[in-house]
Amino acid sequence: MAYDVEILPPWRVPGRPTTDRCFVVADEGIQITRPVTFVDALEGGWYIDLVELEETGPKRLVVHDLYVDIVVPPVSRRYEVLDLDELADALQNGAIDAATAVRVLRNAQRFIDKHLRDLSQDPPSSWPDFPPAAILSLAELPPFEVGSSS
């Protein structure tokens, strides 16, 4: 699934588009975006959110951010896992249950293992599947009307 989301005015970068294309790979529990707001060393990089989907009506899905994020800069073969503390806080204060936290952590590790790590290469010279092949055809589509999905 792909959809475009409007960037709120405080985070817009002058001269750049005002929407980001988001790709949801539901069976992996991730949403991936190449933010137009990334500048300097992150410009052209990717942002991965761990998510879950909720069907709220006919043909209507809501994407819930589940705290853990991964940033993949545009150059070099590295990535950063972010916001594990936010996941811990959500678990501690009851915003999520233990089963959800376990699912988020497992999905994060599966994503990293499938798309960002290739243990057969020493040293690694390329990503095994990044950006994921599942989103490549959607990335080429023209902008959607904000609020619609494909």
SS3 at position 149: strand
Q: What is the pTM (predicted TM-score) of this model?
A: 0.85
Contact 5, 17 (CB under 8 A): no
Contact 84, 101 (CB under 8 A): no
Q: How many CB atoms lie within 10 A of CB 47?
A: 19
pLDDT computed for residue 90 by the predictor: 97
Contact 51, 31 (CB under 8 A): yes
- Euclidean distance between CA atoms 86 and 109, whole angstroms: 17
Token pair belonging to 109 = 């590790």
pLDDT computed for residue 141 by the predictor: 81
What's 9's DSSP letter?
Answer: G
Q: Extract the residue ranges of the chain whose pLDDT is less than 50.
A: 147-150
- Euclidean distance between CA atoms 119 and 129, whole angstroms: 13
